[in-house]
Structure 1
Amino acid sequence: MAYSTDHDVMLDFPILIGDIGGTNARFAIVVDTYAEPREFPVVQTADYPTIEDAIQAAILDQTHLIPRSAVLAVAGPVDGDEIDLTNAHWVVRPREMMASLGFSDVVVLNDFEAQALAVVALGEEHLEKIGGGNAETVGSRVVLGPGTGLGVAGLVHARRTWIPIPGEGGHIDLGPRTARDDEIFPHLEKIGGRVSGEQVLCGRGIVNLYHAIAKADGKKAGFTTPAEITTAALAGSDAVAAETLDLFVTYLGRIAGDLGLIFMSRGGVFLTGGIAQKIVPALQNGLFRTAFEDKAPHNALMASMPVFVITHPMAALQGLAAYARTPARFGVETVGRRWRER
């Protein structure tokens, strides 16, 4: 495997960086090693037929800068020369992108790999702590974020290098534990006969959970969007919405705790994305920490493990910029994920 400590991993500036999610795409250009990334307005993936169209119209046509390289983080597994986004219609084809947009070098990462890189690129002013003890400086970390889907990535430190670990952890099983769960879970929409974390812990998952609670109690479900549900829950104006948010943070705490155990995340568990940022008051009400720490026989270990909400609105771009500037700081595997002019 080839890692970023290899001498030939350096990218030529200017570098286009992009965080490509299922709903939104965020772009910036890094001019040199010391410059802050120049950010551009957020792009809606539904507004453009292809990623090339979006980059040309929303970025390249709006600046005199001509990127020579690109580092893109996409919401989906990076496998081969055609990379499908899990929750959007775009397909990333690096060789076609090089031909049409003039890049000589393209690196494609998983979107939560970029979020993991951001964990060591952001300062404390961009972190809201949700209980636990002090984070170990080089302790392993895990990042998860409910958004269009549920993204998960790990980050471990070895040989003076931070190594991000991408994966599809959002698709792990989520099962009932309490009598109330037993009443609600039969009404949750399933995929392939099972309930995964992503079926509950994302935007559409909030709606899924809300409708399941309403069906379990024989009540009318009057809301249709995650924003309506969370707004009503935080305002205390709707009982079903309020329980939806309480159970959402409880289930998020369970899965975050499981992932914290898997990675032994003494460096912290990090929640990222717009949903986590919007529901910080609910995350601080005690239900999240109770579920997070309820991991017998390791309750004491979990009580000491810190959790942070990443509050920076462009966190993934900050992680990508850190990698673009100094790739040797990170052990990013590039085999099969880097395309260069021959």
Structure 2
Amino acid sequence: MAAKSDASTTLNFPVLIGDIGGTNARFAIIVDANAAPKMFPVVQTADFENIDEAIQATVLDKTSLQPKSAVLAVAGPIDGDEIDLTNCPWIVRPKAMIEGLGISEIIVLNDFEAQALAISSLKEEARTQIGGGVIREGASRAVLGPGTGLGVAGLVRARNMWIPVAGEGGHIDIGPRTERDLQIWPHLQTIEGRVSGEQILCGRGLVNLYRAICAVKGNAPSLDTPQSITEAAINRMDREAEEAVDLFATYLGRIAGDIALVFMARGGVFIGGGIFQRLIPVVKKDHVRAAFEDKAPHSELMREIPLYVVTEPLAALAGLATFARTPRFFGLETTGRRWIG
């Protein structure tokens, strides 16, 4: 059954940690509080009918270690004993996992709560700064990242603990800001008439933006996947792809600035996700920073807030590992999200 939260919660080792997104699932086992995570190959969610099969085949069948606890981060809201993933057909059923996989305790978090846990202690070599600003120690932080969707979370410091704040911030409205935006917006695919952040700032969003740019120019789109658009932009093979990537980065900077204001994130805003990491070689960082700071009447405030790209490819797992080792340092609410066999 689901257990109530307990700030003094400790987890029994070994601990299975997992980051389950819309496309990929990543797993590791932590043997004890001082051990580095034992990593397993990244798996495609489409290759398995459910998470239980994925864990059995890719983790438990490959090691003699039997996890006693599990901390899983999933891309979707957590509500009840059956957790639907937003961009994946998997349904996470912790009670069934306890019975079938021999794990005695399971905690399930939102995937961007895990990203928030990661930025609580992200090392300098795992991040790249865009523009100026200096981290204010103890101040709120925020993280966002385009992937299969657009994830957003905050991290607030209170009572000597870091408290992750999850939500569905990727679905906030994004509107036209420039003359070029006004040309593009009528051609964007909408959701019931809305252009949300996620309609542009994720894999399918990049395709949406590219097609809209082609429509403005009267050209037939020749590319149809995020990967092909990214490659064409990096190799300067398609002008529409180049503009799509440039605007994608600019709009991401714009949304990052909005999130910075929501959380008053003087501790920094962090951009995660694999898509933006791949775009870094061709991104015009001054465009991103300018969009981030363009928040009149608070532009001066924005110039003081640092903006980072997370370069650690397994940041969510690192965040889960940090929590698993020292849960007392985090004010993580587990009511309705913790199951004990």
- Tell me the TM-score normalized by structure 2: 0.97
**Where does residue 81 of structure 2 map in the other structure?**
81
Q: CA deviation at 1:284?
A: 4.5
**Where does residue 33 of structure 2 map in the other structure?**
33
**Where does residue 46 of structure 2 map in the other structure?**
46
Q: Structure 1 residues 223, 266: closer, same or farther in 2, change over 3 A?
A: same
User: What is the count of residue pairs matched by the alignment?
Assistant: 339
- 1:103-128 Cα offsets, whole Å, 9 max, x none, are 11000000000000001232111011
Amino acid at match of 2:285: N
- 1:136-159 Cα offsets, whole Å, 9 max, x none, are 121111000000000000001011
**Where does residue 164 of structure 1 map in the other structure?**
164
Which deviates further from its counterpart, 231-240 or 326-335?
A: 231-240
**Does structure 2 conserve the Cα–Cα contact (< 8 Å) formed by 1:130 and 1:284?**
no
Structure 1 consecutive aligned stretches of length 4 or more whose deviation exceeds 3 Å: 1-4, 281-285
- Partners of 1:331 and 1:145 lie apart in 2 by 23
Where do residues 57-76 of structure 1 align in structure 2 (5 Å cutoff)? Answer: 57-76=57-76
Which deviates further from its counterpart, 206-215 or 174-183?
A: 174-183
**Does structure 1 conserve the Cα–Cα contact (< 8 Å) formed by 2:15 and 2:29?**
yes
Q: CA deviation at 1:236?
A: 2.4
**Where does residue 195 of structure 2 map in the other structure?**
195
Partner of 1:256: helix, strand, or coil? Answer: helix
- Partners of 1:284 and 1:314 lie apart in 2 by 25
Partner of 1:156: helix, strand, or coil? Answer: strand
- Partners of 1:333 and 1:243 lie apart in 2 by 42
- 1:293-341 Cα offsets, whole Å, 9 max, x none, are 0000111111111111111111100000000011001110000000012
- Partners of 1:137 and 1:96 lie apart in 2 by 42
- 1:31-79 Cα offsets, whole Å, 9 max, x none, are 1110011110001000000100000000000000000111000000011
Where do residues 105-184 of structure 1 align in structure 2 (5 Å cutoff)? Answer: 105-184=105-184
Amino acid at match of 1:276: F
Amino acid at match of 2:42: V
**Does structure 1 conserve the Cα–Cα contact (< 8 Å) formed by 2:149 and 2:203?**
yes
Which deviates further from its counterpart, 61-70 or 217-226?
A: 217-226
**Does structure 2 conserve the Cα–Cα contact (< 8 Å) formed by 1:76 and 1:86?**
yes
**Does structure 2 conserve the Cα–Cα contact (< 8 Å) formed by 1:251 and 1:291?**
yes
**Does structure 2 conserve the Cα–Cα contact (< 8 Å) formed by 1:4 and 1:329?**
no
- Partners of 1:247 and 1:273 lie apart in 2 by 17
**Where does residue 262 of structure 1 map in the other structure?**
262
Partner of 2:214: helix, strand, or coil? Answer: helix
- Partners of 2:72 and 2:58 lie apart in 1 by 15
Where do residues 214-253 of structure 1 align in structure 2 (5 Å cutoff)? Answer: 214-253=214-253
Partner of 1:286: helix, strand, or coil? Answer: helix
**Does structure 2 conserve the Cα–Cα contact (< 8 Å) formed by 1:133 and 1:305?**
yes
- Partners of 2:277 and 2:45 lie apart in 1 by 22
Q: CA deviation at 1:234?
A: 2.3
**Where does residue 280 of structure 1 map in the other structure?**
280
**Does structure 2 conserve the Cα–Cα contact (< 8 Å) formed by 1:115 and 1:143?**
yes
Amino acid at match of 2:186: P
**Does structure 1 conserve the Cα–Cα contact (< 8 Å) formed by 2:4 and 2:336?**
no
Provide structure 1 residue ranges, at least 5 long, that are not aligned to the other structure. Answer: none
**Does structure 1 conserve the Cα–Cα contact (< 8 Å) formed by 2:245 and 2:283?**
no
- Partners of 1:332 and 1:243 lie apart in 2 by 41
**Does structure 2 conserve the Cα–Cα contact (< 8 Å) formed by 1:13 and 1:32?**
yes
- Partners of 2:138 and 2:285 lie apart in 1 by 29
**Where does residue 318 of structure 2 map in the other structure?**
318
- Partners of 2:339 and 2:20 lie apart in 1 by 18
- Partners of 2:304 and 2:281 lie apart in 1 by 21
Amino acid at match of 1:320: L
- Partners of 1:339 and 1:153 lie apart in 2 by 23
- Partners of 1:159 and 1:42 lie apart in 2 by 36
Percent of aligned pairs sharing the same letter: 61
Provide structure 2 residue ranges, at least 5 long, that are not aligned to the other structure. Answer: none
Q: CA deviation at 1:2?
A: 5.6
Q: Structure 1 residues 181, 294: closer, same or farther in 2, change over 3 A?
A: same
Amino acid at match of 2:14: P
Matched, 1:93 2:100: no
- Partners of 1:134 and 1:281 lie apart in 2 by 24
- Partners of 1:137 and 1:38 lie apart in 2 by 31
- Tell me the TM-score normalized by structure 1: 0.97
- 1:15-42 Cα offsets, whole Å, 9 max, x none, are 1000000000000001111001111000
Q: Structure 1 residues 280, 165: closer, same or farther in 2, change over 3 A?
A: same
**Does structure 2 conserve the Cα–Cα contact (< 8 Å) formed by 1:76 and 1:110?**
yes
**Does structure 2 conserve the Cα–Cα contact (< 8 Å) formed by 1:130 and 1:283?**
no
Partner of 1:241: helix, strand, or coil? Answer: helix
Partner of 1:281: helix, strand, or coil? Answer: coil
Amino acid at match of 2:321: A
Q: CA deviation at 1:4?
A: 5.0
Amino acid at match of 1:193: G
Q: RMSD over aligned Cα, in angstroms? A: 1.2
Amino acid at match of 2:288: F
**Does structure 2 conserve the Cα–Cα contact (< 8 Å) formed by 1:17 and 1:72?**
yes
**Does structure 1 conserve the Cα–Cα contact (< 8 Å) formed by 2:120 and 2:155?**
no
- Partners of 2:195 and 2:18 lie apart in 1 by 31
